[in-house]
Amino acid sequence: MKKIFIQDLSPLEGSEILDFFAISEKSVRKSRNGKFFIRVMCVDRTGQVTGFIWDNVPKFQDAFSVGDIVKVKALVTTYENNMQISISNIRKAEENEYQLSDFAPTTTKDTNKLIEKLFGFIDSVKNEYLSKLLHLFFDDKELLEKFSKSPAAKNWHHNVVGGLLHHSVTVTSICDAVSTLYDGIDRDLLVTCAILHDIGKIKEYTLAPFIDFTDEGRLIGHVVIGNKMVVDKCEEINNFPQNLLMKIQHLLLSHHGEREHGAAVPPKTKEALILHYADNLDAQVTGASDLIEKAVDENSTWTDYHYLTNREYYTE
């Protein structure tokens, strides 16, 4: 079983390790002196580290593939202040040698309590068509299990096993609260779409053995995937109102806010605006919280620069 995690490598500089990692990238390259080497990205639930195989390239080139869990013998080193490992031996691990939970981070939240809260929201929806729609999705035990285990992202917010459930419940909680602050809000529509806004992510991401995009996720994306999933379910409900379906689709297709951020259309109803800002609020606060929690420089009150949001975050 895995004993050493990537976050713990720094004190081991100059030491040899023998442990398990998942391989997310692999390439054969040629050095300036004409010698071939293999560059790999080794990952576990705490981070990633670049690995290099300098010797015996023909022997190891076909011994493993991207997506494999491998056992490596390596020397921990640094180059230009970046941690890396120099691998002297590597093989594909047997299934009984590792636990998948060591390679994909898992939510610290109580999943059973989140599911209970999810069904509390589902049961609060009074509109008969929206209620039927939600139950068609979540009374399906296989779908509920996927929804409960899926991540909400690969890199930024809720990028953990169970992240989608946590994010969806939080966004729904925000929408439910905000719905009481303004007149004329269709609370049932808003809550339903908050629950379902990222449903396409159960098909967008894979967890084998680390969080990554599926081919469908890369080519189509969760917004379009989720919209189709919802439309298909609505077609199973007799006499589902077309005007209501149109409103649902608008909320789902606009929840990213702007076209350049992945929305098919910008939000054009009050409910769509609330959903977009609730979704973005939870994503940004959770992402920033993760960066602050993981800040490693004890002598600084700032996180490292985050290129996705173009800023550092204050840690005190």
Q: What is the DSSP letter of 260?
A: G
Predicted local confidence at residue 9, as pLDDT? 93
Q: Is the pLDDT of residue 89 over 70?
A: yes
d(CA 295, CA 99): 27
Averaged over 23-51, what is the pLDDT? Answer: 92
Assess if residue 43 is contained within a domain. yes
Structural domain of 78: 6-99
Give yes or no for residue 264 having a pLDDT over 70.
yes
**Same domain flag for 72 and 141:** no
Tell how strand 205-206 and strand 212-213 pair up.
antiparallel
Phi, psi (5° rounding) for residue 141? -65, -35
* Residue 234 included in any domain: yes
DSSP state of 197: T
Please compute the mean of the pLDDT values over residues 201-223 and round it to a whole number: 91
Contacts with 31 (C-beta within 8 Å, 6 or more apart), sequence order = 37
Q: Are residues 93 and 115 in the same domain?
A: no
**Position 209 pLDDT exceeds 80:** no
Q: Is residue 55 part of a domain?
A: yes
Report whether 236 contacts 254 (CB < 8 A).
Answer: no
Of 65, 99, 133, the residue that ends a domain is 99
Q: Do 170 and 56 belong to one domain? A: no
As a whole number, mean pLDDT of residues 268-279 equals 98
| Amino acid identity, position 94 | E
Q: Is 273:178 a contact under the CB 8 Å cutoff?
A: no
Among 66-80, 173-187, 287-301, the minimum mean pLDDT is found in 287-301
